[in-house]
Structure 1
Amino acid sequence: MDKKGLKFNTKTIHGGQALEKAYGAVMPPIYQTSTFAQTAPGEHLGYGYARGANPTRTALENSLASLENGTHGFAFGSGMAAIDAVLKLLRPKDEVLCTNDIYGGSYRIFKGIFEHYGITFKFVDLSNPTYIKQHLSTRTKMVWLESPTNPMMQLVDIAGIANAIADKDILLVVDNTFATPYLQRPLDLGADIVMHSATKYLGGHSDVVVGGLIVKETALAERIKFIQNSSGAICGPMDSFLTLRGIKTLHVRMQRHCENAERIAYFLKEHPKVAKVYWPGFAEHPNHHIAKKQMSHFGAMLSFTLQTEAMEHTKKFISRLKLFTLAESLGGVESLVGHPATMSHGSMPEEERLKNGITDNLIRLSVGIEAVEDLLNDLSYALDEND
């Protein structure tokens, strides 16, 4: 049977997987070893040193490639390690165009590290694919997208951007962490590289820190493989195993995540103490038509602002929540609440934060898979008592 033609829900369990050779284990074993015996100098049974490859990591990397309809997957020690590897494809004097609303950690590594090596990063409005043309130059070698963006849930037409730069030597990279391959597959829309913080929805249980890259083009895969092996920021066998286990329930988790988030988005939208809700599923949300075109649902991340702008009221609201846990990260089975201005985007200059709408009263929710009635009651209690 050709596994390439499997439906997505089946791919999460079987995609890219092979029967374990030794004893027929249903789950790939955890090969907790740093090195492998060689049959002769320079000859081995497929694996030599675990930095280069490990069977458990290979199983995860094959799964990632299958989910995103790619040909090569790469697992790293974190999402930031994966981003670091992508940026090492560049050279001094190269330029990267980025969506103006972007994860604070990405902004930090762009500006705080790689800009010092002579790479320029421009944060621009890419809400319309035609806007990119006015920013392109002979130095532009990469376009970095998030869609939906973190934390304002802006939507970017991935296929439109891909078409706009199709005749140029420019890599299109998409951070697909928020949407996951359950909701959208950027390689199918023209992207060259898909990046995941697999710590989030792919792992799904807040117990690993893992990053992933997926590509279709062999020459590009070889360059990334060289960087991965040379730099060494790999994913270990235990984290590979846990992430692979998480992926097997990705489809059922994402379905419940999305269902819960939709109920909560409409609840917050109608609440008198909420000023604005940012969620791609609203018909009036900017580029809602793009979400309908390139996503199968609207995701489980949403942000909102309270009617009051005072930080003390924001803190009071968050402190009254009992089921939504105040914590970094997102995408786990449990619901989390975040304060972007001091957490995910705390390293971004205040001027940049405010320009992108990341105010002190902006709150971000990662909606989990608990009973939605309990989550609604938790939010209602915190809002109604927040005077």
Structure 2
Amino acid sequence: MTLEYSIDSLLAQAGYFVDGATGAVIPPIHLSTTFARNDAYELMGGYGYSRDNNPTYDQVERVVAQLDNGDDAMLFASGMAAITAVFETVNTGQHIVAPIIMYHGAQDWLRHIAEKRNIGLTLFDATEPDALRQAIQPGKTAIVWIETPVNPTWDVIDIEDAATAAHEAGAILGVDCTVATPLTTRALDWGADIVFHSATKYLNGHSDVLAGVLVTKEQNERWNEIQFIRKYVGGVLGSFEAWLLLRGMRTLSIRFERASQNALRIAQHFEHHSKIEAVLYPGLASHPGHQIAKKQMMNGFGGMMSFCVKGGETEAKAIATHLQLFIPATSLGGVESLVEHRASVEGPMSQVQPNLLRFSIGIENSDDLIADLEQALDKI
């Protein structure tokens, strides 16, 4: 009888790997960029050139596809390389829908292609219940792109409803699940067509790999086009980075669990603090999207949260500079806790309120993190 194992076991053993030739339990790194042919001038192992494929990629892509319950996965040299590959499949005259508050790098790219390639772009307010549906143009919208929770306000979009709305209009749904990893949200199971992860973040988890990954529900014409784009644009991940990513993924389940526990405790502790206007965290029962989050985040609410600080931008930045354990840096999903004043990072086009601080909660002792936040708040 074949047993069905949990995601935790899949991750810990990197998809259960044992090298058939040596018995090694750790996958090798194939650094070669080119691969030989045999006497019949056929490729010996099915690999020709690493811009197209490499055996080191295969194990990582298999594990990620299994994590998301997808048909296939594709690694990229960065999160933005993966995102731009998806939107390169949109034709001139077609239309894209995305949230008005989202990862600013992706939105900057959407604005760029909207201007350069005559692609329609509608940005909707994720806090308005019908805004997504109203933004879709049936027969013209090609991709509905959402994040859930939305970075950095952590509004929660119902994936199932978004998928229904997109499909009714003849569009596909792409979901950025960087924050809601497959351990807690499997967006493909809720109706998404493509899932994106900035693998730099939780999947790797150690702030030492730049990578992106796409997972598809089915291998179709669009997926083939994305493969073509990766091959000829050249946004492929290096072999060593792919190996590091797989190594990082082995501890994803315990890292994500600890970060989620820490974040919930911190959110509950500061929810009614006198110097904080609002704690934005979908795990709080008071969060407007908590019920949707409970439905589609089934194994923790993640380690991302934001504080809206009373006073304004000056007070928010002062807290960031007074923190001693939290590191003031951009990124998320690592073992270390980070803080950033998001509006400053996003620049003049930012829609984020100026008193917002974004926190990526790591795996440190939660008492230490709370004490650090308390001493910083005491100084303003």
For Structure 1 versus Structure 2, the TM-score category normalised by the shorter chain is: over 0.9
Matches within 5 A, 1:185-200: 185-200=186-201
Moved more, 217-226 or 249-258: 217-226
Given residue 267 of structure 1, which amino acid in structure 2 is its aligned partner? Answer: H
Would you say 1:326 and 2:324 are equivalent positions? no
In 1, Cα distance between equivalents of 2:267 and 2:182: 22
The equivalent of 2:93 in structure 1 is 93
Q: Which amino acid aligns with 2:308?
A: T
Which residue of structure 2 lines up, in the alignment, with residue 47 of structure 1? 47
Cα deviation digits, residues 221-250 of structure 1 (max 9, x gap) = 323222211211011111111111111111
Question: What do residues 234-273 of structure 1 show as CA deviations (whole Å, max 9, x unaligned)?
Answer: 1111111111111111111111000000111112212211
State the superposition RMSD in angstroms.
1.7
What's 1:158 paired with?
Answer: 159
Question: May I ask how many residue pairs the two structures share in their alignment?
Answer: 376
Question: 1:136 aligns to what?
Answer: 136
Which residue is equivalent to 1:287?
289
1:271 aligns with one of 262, 270, 273: 273
Q: Write the distance in 1 (CA, Å) between the matches of 2:356 and 2:34.
A: 48
User: Which of residues 284, 302, 305 in structure 1 aligns to 2:305?
Assistant: 302
Q: Describe the SS at the equivalent of 1:144.
A: strand
Describe the SS at the equivalent of 2:174.
Answer: strand
| 1:376 counterpart residue number | 370
Partner of 1:212: 213
Q: Any idea what SS the aligned residue of 2:344 has?
A: coil
Q: TM-score, normalised by structure 1?
A: 0.93
- Name whichever of 92-101 and 191-200 sits farther off: 92-101
Contact 2:325 2:372 in 1 (8 A): yes
- With over 3 angstroms needed to count, the CA separation of the structure-2 counterparts of 1:59 and 1:36, relative to structure 1, is same
Give the alignment's TM-score, normalised by structure 2: 0.94
State the distance in 1 between where 2:362 and 2:252 align.
13
Q: Secondary structure at the match of 1:195?
A: strand
Give the corresponding residue for 2:81.
Answer: 81
Q: 1:217 to 1:2 in 2, by over 3 A?
A: farther
Contact 1:15 1:66 in 2 (8 A): no
How far apart are the structure 2 equivalents of 1:187 and 1:128?
24
Q: Which runs of 5+ in 2 are unaligned?
A: none
- 5+ residue gaps, structure 1, are none
Alpha-carbon deviation of 1:129?
Answer: 6.3
Counterpart Cα distance in 1 of 2:15 and 2:31: 21
C-alpha distance after superposition, 1:142-200 (max 9, x if no partner):
10000000000010000111122333421100000011111101001000000000000
Deviations 1:66-107, CA, capped at 9 Å, x for gaps? 110111010100000000110111111110011222111111
Paired residues of 1:16 and 1:65 also in contact (CA < 8 A): no
Tell whether the 8 Å contact from 2:82 to 2:212 is kept in structure 1 after alignment: yes
C-alpha offsets along residues 207-232 of structure 1, whole Å, 9 cap, x if unaligned?
11000000121214323222211211
What is aligned with 1:57?
57
Match status 1:228 vs 2:248: no
* Structure 1 pair 342–126 and aligned structure 2 pair: CA distance change class (3 A): closer
Q: Displacement of 1:21 after TM fit?
A: 3.5
In 2, the alpha carbon distance for the partners of 1:140 and 1:312 equals 41
Structure-1 separation of matches of 2:187 and 2:239 = 27
Q: Which amino acid in structure 2 is aligned with residue 192 of structure 1? A: D
Where 2:343 maps in the other structure, the secondary structure is coil
SS at 1:315's partner residue?
helix
Task: Kindly state the Cα deviation for residue 2 of structure 1 after the two structures are TM-superposed.
Answer: 5.3
Separation in 1, partners of 2:14, 2:188: 17
